Each structure stands twice: as C-alpha cells, then as structure tokens.
Amino acid sequence: MLPITEIAKQMKAAAPFVAAMEANRRSEALLGAAALLRENAEEIFRENEKDMALSDSLALPLKKRLRFDRPKLETVCRGLEELAALPDPVGTVTLRRELDRDLVLSRISVPIGVIGVVFESRPDALVQISGLCFRSGNCAILKGGSEALHTNRILFSLMRQASLSAGFPEAAYALAETREEIGELLACDAWVDLLIPRGSNAFVRYIMDHTRIPVLGHAAGVCHIYVDAAADLARAAKIVLDAKTQYPAACNAVETLLVARPVAPVFFAILTGRIKAFEAENGKKIRLLGTPEAAAILSCEQAGEDDFGHEFSDLTLAVKLVADVDEAIDHINRFGSHHTDAILTEDDVAAERFFRLVDSAGVYRNCSTRFADGYRYGFGAEVGISTSKIHARGPVGVEGLLTYKYLIEGTGQTVGEYANGSRSFHFRDLPC
C-alpha cells in the first residue's frame, strides 16, 4: 500500500473529477453497494467472526458495536438505498444574481473534496460514512478502529468495488489501517480538506491539537436538562431517566440535571421512585452527585467542584438547584459544551427564553437530549456531531459535507469600467 501522503495527493487530484461526475453515478454507487453487501453477506459475517474471536478483552458495549450481523447489514443497506433516493445535493444553485447586464453571479453547492474520517470499532460506521461520501461526491480516507480490521477490510473492498463500477476514479477512496497512518494523515493539510475524528474526548482533542486541517466534531458532550417550575414533573422524570440511561456512553446523554427550586422536593420524590424502579429492573445503580442544597432533599452523594461540566459517560448525574430559567441558561452556557440541552416546561415564555439564549447546537423542549442524532433528525445517517460554531453544527449529514463555489458568466467586463463610473452594478436576484 502507498504511504498516506501519496494517497492523499492522488486523491486531491481526483477530487475535482469526482465532484464533476453526473448525479446518477452517485446514486448508482449507493445502490450497487447495497446489492454487493447483501450478495456477500456470509463472507462479511465470517470476517466479522474473526474480529469477534479476537475481542475477548473488550467490554460488552464495545463488543455489541463490533458485532456485524444480519440486522445491522439490513439497516446499513436500507440506509444506502435511502441515500440513493435523496435528491442529488451537488450542483444545487443557491443564489443567482444579475450584477449588471450580461454579468451573472451564481452560487452552486459542491463537495468539500478530500475528507479524512477516523472512527471507532463499529463496522456499520464504515458503510454509513462511505455512503455519505458517495452521495455528497467527496473522496475519503477512512480509518476505522483496529478491533474491526477484518470486517472493515471486506466492507471497504465492497464499497470501493461499487464506487469503481459506478465510474468513481481509483484514487477516490482509501482505507488506512494503522495508528502511524493517522499521524501521517494529520500532516496532509495540503491535500486533505477536512478531518472528522470520532471517539474519546482525549482522542478528538489530540487530533484538533496536532493538525492544520480543519476538524469537525466534538471533544465533549456535556448535555443538560433543566426542569422548570412549570414542568409536567412525571413526564420530566421519565425524560431524565431516558436521557441518562438509554445509552449513557453516548455524547448526547445528559450529564447535569438543573431543577427549579420551588418544584425540587416534589420532583426529586418522583425521580427517586423512577430511579428505584429502573435499578430494580436493570440491576444497575444510578449515581447522583448533588450540591449541598440538593443533597438536603435528595438521597445522593456530594458533588465535587469538577462534577459540573464533566462528561461522565456512565450512569452518573450531577444535580443542582437553580432559581429559574435565567440561572439555568447561565449555568448551561458557562459549564456546557454547546452540544444539546433541554428545558422541560409547560411555560411558553420560559421555553422561548431558553430557545433564544442557550448557545448550543441543539436546544430542546420537553424531550430527551438523546434525540441529537443524524438518523433521528431524518438525515439518513451522520458522519458525526459538531459542537463547533463554524461550518456545520449538530448532527452532520450530507449537507455538512458540501461547500459552494461562486460562478460568474460575463461578456468581457472589467473592474476598471465600474471603478471609473462608466458602468455600474444593479444587483437583481434571479430565480435559482
């Protein structure tokens, strides 16, 4: 295999041709990939068995992610078919403006170009990410978790085969397999347009600190739920339980619970009941860390200084009382990670204030923070979730993998004529 630098260089040269391909080729690659995956299902499962056999030391949730079985195959294949059915996102005209007679500016959507994606040991991610790149006309260097080596290899080779049959150039996709190659990739700022790292906070932070390539993603997911004085408290307890327990390791799980002082005693009583039921049913303990004030009315441990703004990634929840929605907003903007935060209230004024003032990629009312996800937003899939303010924010699907270019069609115009006043602009927007 070629060094990553050489792969990236060739990919950069191929990228404009991928961007210029006809739309039906992109759909063809997606449908072809789904067909190939189904045809080669047994071989894929055999390769996955090899990975599973080597995974004894992994924790159970990681093993579950690593397993690639028929239901997962069906899910990713349906995902590819859904992406194929979407209207082609490349070449969409988003602005047309006559600057002057016979001088027309337009803006069209184009792929970003070369994307590097580093993701966890989860084979379905390889299919989803390649699928999003096919749909958006991007080239990609993919590096999956090493525990999924055999599964990734066969999935990648089938995805690539589908891309080649649809007319994508040889250089459009590559699979990296070693840690050293990540280091090489970080130095490819001349050829790689965007990096999307997924994984632990420390890993994402490391990537952000060691490259000049723009990075899309999130280092931390510190999500909050604020239970307002006007909340439906029974419903609130149900939502808090879901947001904490449905998948505690996810970035969109809740880490801090803020409760309006007046309803705290009643709400804690309801919540405690729900927690006990959950614990009895699941044989798991939820750990609550409260401020002294919360601890006075809730059975919990004492929270430390650093427990607010901390991503526990397990069944731990920090708890604090606040006066009102304004104090909640202030706490969230100060300690949160601008990922996803929710208010539970029946009060439209408080909700409106929360929507306006909370500075996060996702701001929710009366539902679980766990909805922050490309699939649940109807994006078909996601390459990741961004907590950056720049480019794409929240779950990133096809749209986040596109940029635009400005085109001007003229008939000999020079800027000198406009500078000396012999011609002037009239700026008239045209239908797109």
**Footprint (CB under 8 A) of its own copies, residues 206-225:** 208-209, 212, 214, 216
SS3 346: coil
Residue 418 binds to its own copies (criterion: CB under 8 A) = yes
Q: How many residues bind its own copies (CB under 8 A)?
A: 77
- Of 59, 408, 430, 432, the one binding its own copies (CB under 8 A) is 408
Distance CA 186, CA 210 (A): 7
**Contact region for its own copies (CB under 8 A) — 35-43, 49-57, 314-322, 416-424?**
416-424
H/E run at residue 176:
strand 173-176
**Contact region for its own copies (CB under 8 A) — 23-31, 128-136, 180-188, 386-394?**
386-394
Least distance CB 36 / its own copies (angstroms): 27
**Contact region for its own copies (CB under 8 A) — 41-49, 129-137, 146-154, 415-423?**
415-423
For its own copies, the binding residues in 44-103 under the rule CB under 8 A are 97, 99, 103
Residue 13 binds to its own copies (criterion: CB under 8 A) = yes
- Of 296, 406, 430, 432, the one binding its own copies (CB under 8 A) is 406
DSSP string, 143-211: E--GGGHHHHHHHHHHHHHHHHHTT--GGGEEEE-SHHHHHHHHT-TTT--EEEE-S-HHHHHHHHHT-
Cα 214–Cα 219–Cα 222 angle in degrees, nearest 5? 140
Tokens 């260089």 belong to residue: 9
For its own copies, the binding residues in 236-275 under the rule CB under 8 A are 238-239, 241-243, 246-247
Measured CA to CA in angstroms, residue 283 lies from 65, 278, 279, 287, 314 at distances of 22, 8, 5, 13, 14
Distance between the two ends of the chain, CA-based, in angstroms?
A: 45
- Of 39, 425, 430, 432, the one binding its own copies (CB under 8 A) is 425
Least distance CB 377 / its own copies (angstroms): 6
Q: Chain centroid to CA 111: how far?
A: 18
DSSP string, 298-321: S--EEPPGGGTT----SSEEEEEE
Least distance CB 170 / its own copies (angstroms): 17
Tokens 């614990």 belong to residue: 279
**Stretch 320-339: interaction string toward its own copies, x if CB under 8 A:** ---------x---xx-----
Token representation of residue 363? 């701001």
Return the amino acid letter for 173.
Answer: Y
Least distance CB 198 / its own copies (angstroms): 18
Least distance CB 249 / its own copies (angstroms): 14
Q: Are 384 and 116 in contact (CB under 8 A)?
A: no
- Of 1, 3, 6, 20, the one binding its own copies (CB under 8 A) is 20
Distance CA 430, CA 425 (A): 15
Return the amino acid letter for 71.
Answer: P
Smaller CB separation from its own copies, 52 or 237:
237
SS3 290: strand
Compute how many other C-beta atoms are within 10 angstroms of the C-beta atom of residue 369.
28
**Stretch 155-194: interaction string toward its own copies, x if CB under 8 A:** --------------------------------------xx
Least distance CB 70 / its own copies (angstroms): 17
**Contact region for its own copies (CB under 8 A) — 57-65, 105-113, 178-186, 298-306?**
105-113
